[in-house]
Each structure stands twice: as C-alpha cells, then as structure tokens.
Structure 1
Amino acid sequence: MEKKLLDAAMEGNITMLKDLIQEDPLVLDRALASCVSETPLHIASMLGHLGFVKELLSHRPELASELDSRGSTPLHLAAAKGHAEIVKELALVDPAACMVRNEDGWTALHVAAVKGRVKVLSELARVSTESTRALTDRGETVLHLCVGHNRLEGLKALADAFGKDDDFLNWKDFDGNTILHIAVAKKQVEIIKFLLTSTGVNVNALNANSSTALDILMQSLRDLRDMEIEDSLRSVGAKSAKDVQPIVHDWARVPTRHHQISRRLGSAALSLKEGDSMKPAAQKKPSDWLGRKRSSLMVVASLLATVAFQSALTPPGGVWQDDLKVDDKGNPVDNPHSVGTAVMSYKQPKEYGLFMIFNTIAFLTSLSIILLLVSGLPINRRRWVWIQMVIMWVAISTLVITYFISLRQMSPDASNVKKMLREVTEKSVLTWLCLMVVVFVGNCVRMNLWVLRKYGYIKPKEESAPIDDELEEEEN
C-alpha cells in the first residue's frame, strides 16, 4: 500500500490517491509513522504536482512539517525546484516551516536564494517576513547568499521587499563582510552597480580585517573588470581603510579640552616617573636605522660584485678566439697569443694591469661587505656600519676607475675622440671627487657631533617637544 502511495505521488495521480484513502483510511497515517525518509508530500512538492499537494494537505496538513533524511521539509524541496504555487500552499498551511533549517543550516528562503528562484523568493518574503531575517550558520543573510551565488534578479526582488532597511542591507557575516564586500571579492560587476545605485549599502564599511570594499579590490588578483569596478566604487565615494576616519556617535563620551589637557599632564607625569618604560621606544629608531642600512649595503654590494665579476670575464676588447703561435709556414710569429686570453693584455698590457687591479679591488671589497653581513658577527653597531660604508665607497670608486679605463680602451685613436674623451674624463672625475668630499665631510661632521654629545660637550637632541609648547599650540 505504501508503495502504491509513493507511486501515486511520483505521478501526481489524484484519483489513485483518493482510491487508496478510500480503500485504507489510515494510509497517510502509516506514511507519517513510516521510517521512510521521504513522505508522499516531499515527492509531490519536489516534482511540482500542485493538485496532489493540495489533496494531501486537505487530509493531513501535518505532513508539511515532516523532514527527510537531509532535514528538509517539503517547502525546502518546492523552493529549490521553483514551484511558487506549491510554496504558497505549504507556507499557508504551516508558516512555521518557513523557519526550519536543513542540515546545511538553510531555510527554504535560503535555498530559493541560492537556486535563484525569484518567484519563490517574492512569495516567501510576502508570506513570512520573519524568515527574511533568518541567518545561516555563518551569520549570512539571504542577501549574502544571493550575492555569493551571483543571483542578481533574486537580489533585486529581495531589495524591493526590504525597501529602505539599510541596516539589513549592511548586515555583516561572521567575517565582517557586507554584501558589497562579497560582490567586490567575486568581481560581480552588475551586482556591484546595482548595490551602489539602487540600495543604501555602505561603501566604506570595514570587515573583520579592517578592509573596505576598495581594499579588497586592490588586494585581489588583477583582471579586466577591476578598472570598471574601481570607477564605480570611487564615483560614490569609496575609500581605503586608511582614509576612512572613525566617527564618534556617543558625544557624551567625547572629552572636553580640559579633560584632554589633564590627561596629557597625567601621562607626562607618569612617563617621568617611569623613565625606564621609554627606553625601548628610544632604542627602536637606531635599530630600524641599522636594519635599513644593512639591507641597502647588501643589495648594493651584491650588485657591485656581479658587475666586477662580469667585467673580469669579459674585459674591454674581449678575448682571443683562436691560438696563434706560428704562421702558415710553421715559423714563430712576432706576437703569439692563446685562445681565451684577453686581447687588451697583448695590446695595452699596462692599462690592462690597471684595469684588473681596480676591478679586483672592487670585487673583493664588495665580497668583504657581503661576508661581514652574513658572518653572524656582532656588528650591529653604528661604527661597524660606518666601516662597511667606507669599504663601499672604495668599491664604488674603484669601479668608476675601471669604467673609465674600459671607455678609453674601446675608443678609437682619432685625435678629436681622444680630446673629447679626455674632457669627459676630467669633468667626471672632478665631479666624483667633489661628491666624495661632500659625503666625507658630512659624515665627519656627524661623527664629531656624536662624539661631542656622547661626552657632554653639547646638549643632546630633544626627543619630543615640551608639553607646555604642545598645549600652547592646542590653545591657539
């Protein structure tokens, strides 16, 4: 008998249902008491047999509250399939079913939103206003589900139903994301435009990571839609989190000028009593300075070592590509050479010697800086950094000399070229020497000032302005 009832539900055969009830008046009660997860109403609701559903509800309306193996009511199944008329009948018979959650934590309205069943959404929003406020297990509203599954038409239908309820439109899930955050993260251009132009969504709301919708866009992988989305956001005043100024709404808690001055004086007195607590802050600046200098030295030293190494492998003029020790007749030649040796060493041995000397100095000084930085020795002091900077000056200067030797070697012997090269070299060397003198004098002055401050000959630098001056500025 139960199998016949399920077959009738599958076919939507109302006549067979009536015959079964007439033959056995308890057939529907047995279906309720059965261990089978799906009732005939589940099947008929899922398949869209409206007449069969009405007939079942007229005999046993309690079937509307039965759950299947996934915790779904017949209303869930009808909503998922988009059978709006059946949804209407089920919701009228058992309004409480609108608030029942399945094993995914979704109500029938949530299921309709995910599936994009616009008519069902409108019907459920009209019949059960309370269900529109139900949240998922992740704190998401039905609007979050529409946006998350790119259901623009469903979102429009719900936005019309909610009207001017901006609080609900700006509801945040457990991650602090509004529907605009989600739309921007998924780069749903049409939904973003709709939210910005037709709803009261807050474009500068912050999520749990203190990010606005614009921040999420900037942090995402870039594609062709980003420019259009960014223009849409900025056109309505969207900002990054760093530009969003918090607004204090509780004006009773805003301190007056007298309270601000008293608090500052109290903080100043506390800092004078607990002078040790200021030491870590005072030491933070040198530490940052040393860290930046070490990083800069490592980068520049690596670059100089690479250039010097490459110059040694490919000197000006290149290397011989063949062996030449005897002529075609087997007689020794006047200027023999071997493959792979530098051409410059045969043609201009003196200049080649200078080139290799200065290039080697640049290479070794650069490597020495790298070695000191990675050696693990306790060199985290200013004087060690100054020593490394002096070594760096030597490396740069010798590399400059190497450059001019190479330039001279590669230039032709024409008189006008030699004259121009000499002028360029003289002016460049003079400029370089002036720059080195300025740097040297500046660092000497800094070192002398540091020594004088250390031994008390001059007044140390003041870390911050006096409190009285600060208060005077506020009064003005």
Structure 2
Amino acid sequence: MTLQDAIAADDVDQLYRLIEEDVNLLDHGSKGPFPDTPLHDAAGKGKTKVAMEIAILKALFPQKLNRGGYSPMHLALQNKHYHTVRALMTLNPKLIRVHGRGGITPLHFVAGKIGDNEQENVEILELLAEFLSTCNSSIKDLTNQCETAVHVAVRTGNIEAFKVLFGWLKLVHLIEILNWKDQDGDTALHIATSERQPEIIKLLIKYADVNAKNFLGMTALEIFQLNPSGSPDVAERFHHEGRRARCYTPTLSLSQYFGREQTDHEEFANFFNVQDESNREIIVVVSIFIATATYQAALTPPGGYWQDSSSNSTVMAVNSSSIALGKSHQAGNIIMSGASLFFSIATLSAAALRLKGITQHYHG
C-alpha cells in the first residue's frame, strides 16, 4: 500500500506503518517554495483523520501554499469538506488567516461563498461565525485588492453572510471596519449602492459614512442618486443620513488634522508623554490623586466653618472673596455663603467633571 492509498482509506495505522518503512515518507515531494504536500492531498479529499495526523507530525504543512496558491484549508473549503476545515481550525486557529491566491483567506472565502442548497448555506454561515469567534483578528485581513470579508460578502451579494459579519462587528465594537476602503477607495456602502442591494444599504446606512469619497471622488450618496435602488423608504433613509452626516461629520483632511490646535485631552496626553496603551494607566493613577484632592476640597468648603457664634455685622475682603466676618452666625456653619459659595462650588464641580472626562477618555 502506498501513501496515496493510506490517504484514500483515511487509515492512520497504515500511515504509520509506511513511516516505519520510510522515515522521510512525508517529505517526498514536499520540498520547494510551493509544494503539494501529503496534507494538501488529504485535506483536499476530506480525509480528516490522516490530515490531522500529518498536520501534527509536520507543523509547517498547514500553512504552506501549493503551486496553485492554496493552503490545505483552502482546498478543504473548495471541495466542501467542512469537517476537515473545522479539525484544522481546532488544531491551529491562525490557519484562518493564511493568505492564499489573490490574498484570499479562508474567512474571505466563506464570506463570499453561497451554498448550492439551504442546508449547505446554513453550514457555511455557521463556519463563518466559528471563524470570527475563534480568530477575531481575521476580520482585519485584506485581499490583494484591499478587501475585507465585508467587502467580499457585499460584492458577491451574499446577504446572509453580510448579516453575520455586520452583527458580529457590532458585538465586538469594530464598526469602523465598515468604512475601510478597498483599492478603489470603495467602502461596503459604495459597493452596496453600485450593486443595488437595498437590504444591505438599510443595514449599513446608520453605521457607514455616506459622505466618504472613493478614489473617483464619488460618495455613496452620489452613487445612489445615479443608481437608485429599492423602495422610496431606502431613498429617504439615505438622504436623511446624508444630511445628518454633513452636520456632524468632520471634514478635515489628514494634513489639516495634524496641523490643527490640540484638544485638552491631547494636551494632557502630551504632558504625561503618553506613547502607548500601557502608559495610559499612568494617567489613570495621576487622575486618581487629583480626584482625591478635588474630593477633599469639596468636603472642606472654601473659607471653612465658623468656630464661634456672633451677632456682629462686619464684611471683609479676603482673596478676592467677600467673607462676612462680622455677620450674625452660629458655630459650625459655613463661613462663605451666597454668590461666593456658589461660584466656588461651581468651579470645583467644573474641574471635577473635566477630570472625569479626561480619565474616561484615556481609560477607555
């Protein structure tokens, strides 16, 4: 029996008997930059047991591309051997991020894959969800055309796959990926309007930048106006969002952004020389000390408390604040009162609120 026979029979025992006879068995034909390894053969045929055994014995094989530009997982996907795909994913989740021909990863592949029937569609969508949850960084991978999995799903009209991606991006707070541009400067919304996909437009319109321009200088709103699709309801949503975005979306170019006056938050960061995520913790610690001092000041009112009781009526200016030193009072009452007290408390409150905003900004 040959290695090919052992793979065809998915016989692990026979695989090891062959290895005992030839310790270099798995290396034959596996040299060079683009080898067709025995793992490519086993995965492409859906022989999961032998494929897993080879992947364990030869840890580099799962990441290698053959002369067609495909990894073993790519071949398993192309031939609909989803059980083998799951087994390889369990062995090494990073295989989901292997770039094959065209820069396409397994995640890109399933995002654009529409099954031949409902049952296969369900399995592909489940696999897409498993990819995302098993290796969440895979959503940031791009094809050689700078496309995310979202671009691929929209371009192929795979609405169900888009819904899975869209829902997951909201759950993990990565909505900004919806505004990433491909090599033509198109976001997912540009593509959805060009391809007349009203269902996707409805989902995207509240989360994507309708005024973002592609490299032809066209916004998604302008593409929609030239290429209207869907019901009047879609058009109304589009125009409403366009008006709202124009009101609230910054229009600074990158050079203008760099050259603008810095915000208080940025000045604070520069003062403490914040350069990375770990250093932000320093700000939090410093902020706690400042907050403690502010809190203590709030507990001890400006001017302090009267130490005795009196019925005199003499007013004296101290530190620009009028304090009624001779005013009738009782021991234990707050010395400062009226407008002076209100102004001091308001100043402390404003400082505390500003500090809270800075702390939340850098802690988040």
Q: CA deviation at 1:51?
A: 1.9
Partner residue in 2 for 1:58? 56
Q: Which amino acid aligns with 1:234?
A: E
> Is the 1:144–1:179 Cα contact (8 Å) retained in structure 2?
yes
1:232 to 234, 247, 252: 234
Report the 3-state secondary structure (helix = DSSP H, G, I; strand = E; otherwise coil) of the residue aligned with 2:196.
coil
Partner residue in 2 for 1:184? 193
1:172 to 144, 166, 181: 181
Partner residue in 1 for 2:164? 157
Provide the C-alpha distance between the structure 2 equivalents of 1:167 and 1:176, rounded to a whole number of angstroms.
15
Partner residue in 2 for 1:212? 219
**Change beyond 3 A, Cα 1:214–1:5:** same
| Structure 1 residue 113 corresponds to structure 2 residue 97 | no
> Is the 2:3–2:18 Cα contact (8 Å) retained in structure 1?
yes
Q: Write out aligned runs for 1:47-86 (5 A).
A: 47-86=45-84
Provide the C-alpha distance between the structure 2 equivalents of 1:36 and 1:11, rounded to a whole number of angstroms.
26
Report the 3-state secondary structure (helix = DSSP H, G, I; strand = E; otherwise coil) of the residue aligned with 1:104.
helix
Provide the C-alpha distance between the structure 1 equivalents of 2:29 and 2:43, rounded to a whole number of angstroms.
16
Q: Which amino acid aligns with 2:101?
A: E
Provide the C-alpha distance between the structure 1 equivalents of 2:23 and 2:43, rounded to a whole number of angstroms.
22
> Is the 1:61–1:93 Cα contact (8 Å) retained in structure 2?
no
Provide the C-alpha distance between the structure 2 equivalents of 1:247 and 1:206, rounded to a whole number of angstroms.
13
Provide the C-alpha distance between the structure 2 equivalents of 1:186 and 1:77, rounded to a whole number of angstroms.
29
Deviations 1:206-261 (A, max 9, x none): 323332323213323x7xxx242x531422545679x946635669949xxxxxxx
Provide the C-alpha distance between the structure 2 equivalents of 1:21 and 1:51, rounded to a whole number of angstroms.
16
Question: Which of 1 and 2 has greater Rg?
Answer: 1
> Is the 2:198–2:234 Cα contact (8 Å) retained in structure 1?
no
> Is the 1:14–1:52 Cα contact (8 Å) retained in structure 2?
yes
> Is the 1:44–1:50 Cα contact (8 Å) retained in structure 2?
yes
Q: CA deviation at 1:31?
A: 4.6
1:247 to 232, 246, 250: 250
Tell me the TM-score normalised to structure 1 length.
0.45
Report the 3-state secondary structure (helix = DSSP H, G, I; strand = E; otherwise coil) of the residue aligned with 1:33.
coil
Report the 3-state secondary structure (helix = DSSP H, G, I; strand = E; otherwise coil) of the residue aligned with 2:103.
coil
Gaps of 5+ in 1: 255-476
Q: Write out aligned runs for 1:285-324 (5 A).
A: none
| Structure 1 residue 9 corresponds to structure 2 residue 20 | no
Report the 3-state secondary structure (helix = DSSP H, G, I; strand = E; otherwise coil) of the residue aligned with 2:75.
helix
Q: Which amino acid aligns with 2:224?
A: L
Count of aligned pairs between the two proteins = 244
Q: 1 or 2 for the larger relative contact order (CA 8 Å, sep ≥6)?
A: 2
Partner residue in 1 for 2:142? 135
Provide the C-alpha distance between the structure 2 equivalents of 1:227 and 1:65, rounded to a whole number of angstroms.
43
Partner residue in 2 for 1:30? 28
> Is the 2:186–2:214 Cα contact (8 Å) retained in structure 1?
yes
Please report the RMSD computed on the Cα atoms of aligned residues, expressed in angstroms: 3.2
Q: Which amino acid aligns with 2:186?
A: N
Provide the C-alpha distance between the structure 2 equivalents of 1:73 and 1:67, rounded to a whole number of angstroms.
5
Deviations 1:302-339 (A, max 9, x none): xxxxxxxxxxxxxxxxxxxxxxxxxxxxxxxxxxxxxx
Tell me the percent identity: 31
Provide the C-alpha distance between the structure 2 equivalents of 1:32 and 1:91, rounded to a whole number of angstroms.
22
> Is the 2:34–2:65 Cα contact (8 Å) retained in structure 1?
no
> Is the 1:42–1:73 Cα contact (8 Å) retained in structure 2?
yes
> Is the 1:170–1:179 Cα contact (8 Å) retained in structure 2?
yes
Provide the C-alpha distance between the structure 1 equivalents of 2:131 and 2:259, rounded to a whole number of angstroms.
43
Q: CA deviation at 1:165?
A: 1.7
Q: CA deviation at 1:108?
A: 2.0
Provide the C-alpha distance between the structure 2 equivalents of 1:227 and 1:100, rounded to a whole number of angstroms.
37
Report the 3-state secondary structure (helix = DSSP H, G, I; strand = E; otherwise coil) of the residue aligned with 2:184.
coil
**Change beyond 3 A, Cα 1:94–1:152:** same
Provide the C-alpha distance between the structure 2 equivalents of 1:35 and 1:172, rounded to a whole number of angstroms.
32
**Change beyond 3 A, Cα 1:213–1:91:** same
Report the 3-state secondary structure (helix = DSSP H, G, I; strand = E; otherwise coil) of the residue aligned with 1:38.
coil
Q: CA deviation at 1:84?
A: 4.1
Provide the C-alpha distance between the structure 1 equivalents of 2:92 and 2:212, rounded to a whole number of angstroms.
38
> Is the 2:68–2:101 Cα contact (8 Å) retained in structure 1?
yes
Q: CA deviation at 1:43?
A: 2.2
Report the 3-state secondary structure (helix = DSSP H, G, I; strand = E; otherwise coil) of the residue aligned with 1:207.
coil
Deviations 1:170-199 (A, max 9, x none): 212222211111011111233223334xx7
Q: CA deviation at 1:45?
A: 1.6
Provide the C-alpha distance between the structure 2 equivalents of 1:211 and 1:121, rounded to a whole number of angstroms.
32
Q: CA deviation at 1:20?
A: 2.2
Q: Which amino acid aligns with 1:30?
A: H
Partner residue in 1 for 2:130? 123
Deviations 1:79-105 (A, max 9, x none): 334544433332344455433322312
Provide the C-alpha distance between the structure 2 equivalents of 1:216 and 1:204, rounded to a whole number of angstroms.
11
**Change beyond 3 A, Cα 1:154–1:82:** farther
Deviates more, 1:52-61 or 1:85-94: 85-94
Q: Which amino acid aligns with 1:235?
A: R
